[in-house]
Amino acid sequence: MSAGSVTLVGAGPGDPELLTLKAIRAIRAATVLLVDDLVGEGVLRFARRSARIVHVGKRGGCASTPQAFIEKLMAAEALKGERVVRLKGGDPFVFGRGGEEAEHLREQGIAVEVVNGITSGLAAATALGVPLTHRDHAHGVMLVTGHARGADAALHWPTLAAAAAQGLTLVVYMGVTTVQELQTGLLGALPASTPVAVVQHASPAHQKQAVGTLGALAELVREHALASPAVIIVGDVLRGLHHAAAGAQPMKHGRVA
């Protein structure tokens, strides 16, 4: 029996045209695919007909699939000789628990490969038509989670706000449910007039977005009924955009001719 393997593949923000060639190659070669719920359906059209597709999303079905079960399943299939692809939304190594999964598999002697995907924070900015760095407005970017594990791990928003005030764009993943806390914390070091944007489902089909200011961020989320999965972008790179009507047509990602 040939040795199996696991490839953690970044499926990007949803649009199959944003997959890498390497991702498509891995999906085509897979005999078993374990699919997260943030993965766009269109991505699965590259899978073989004979491949077994298992949806292990946390919100698709009635109950979430526990992480430990997913890791066990991946390992068991690989040890049986299957070519397993774990399809994850965005990039597997950006808040995707890809690091934990790779570590767990390697501990069992299973070969693991990781294929980058376009992380939703980058896709969201491009969908708005703004760069995350800009020679005049932002000399860097911070990707942070609004949902840190355990109370002690909670981010200190005023510290991040101080860094943002130095000219770093802040991109918050998993931040909409704690948006009020985030707003209050960031106002500790950033002016209420700081531009913000919230992009839900950064992908052409279902994208929803709103643009405003930090002083009214929580209200913006409520008013536009924005919910997970969404990223929040904070910083001067959005200047000019926040006057645009919220909910304006999203810019489409370029298509390959």
**What are the residue numbers of the active site?**
36, 58, 174
**By rule CB under 6 A, what count of residues binds ligand SAH?**
24
Q: What angle in degrees, to the nearest 10, is found between the helix axes of 157-165 and 179-186? A: 50
43 binds ligand SAH (CB under 6 A): no
Residue 6 phi/psi, 5-degree rounding, is: -125, 130
- Smallest CA-to-CA distance from 242 within 199, 202, 195 is with 195
Q: Report the residue number, 4 or 179, with the smaller CB distance to ligand SAH.
A: 179
183 binds ligand SAH (CB under 6 A): no
Tally of CB atoms within 10 A around 108: 13
Sites for ligand SAH among residues 3-22 (CB under 6 A): 13-14
Produce one character per residue of 163-193: b if its CB has 16 or more CB atoms within 10 Å, e if not. Answer: ebeebbbbbbbbbbebbeebbebbbebbeee
Q: Of 23, 32, 38, 234, which lies in the binding site for ligand SAH, with binding defined by CB under 6 A?
A: 38
Give min distance, CB of 50 to ligand SAH, in A: 28
Give min distance, CB of 147 to ligand SAH, in A: 7
Kindly indicate which of the ranges 62-70, 85-93, 161-169, 183-191 contains the residues binding ligand SAH, using the contact rule CB under 6 A: 85-93
63 CA to centre of own chain = 21
Q: Of 26, 34, 35, 90, which lies in the binding site for ligand SAH, with binding defined by CB under 6 A?
A: 90
222 Cβ contact partners less than 8 Å away, ≥ 6 residues apart: none
Query: What residues make contact with ligand SAH under the rule CB under 6 A?
Result: 13-14, 38, 88-91, 94-96, 119-120, 124, 173-174, 199-203, 228-231
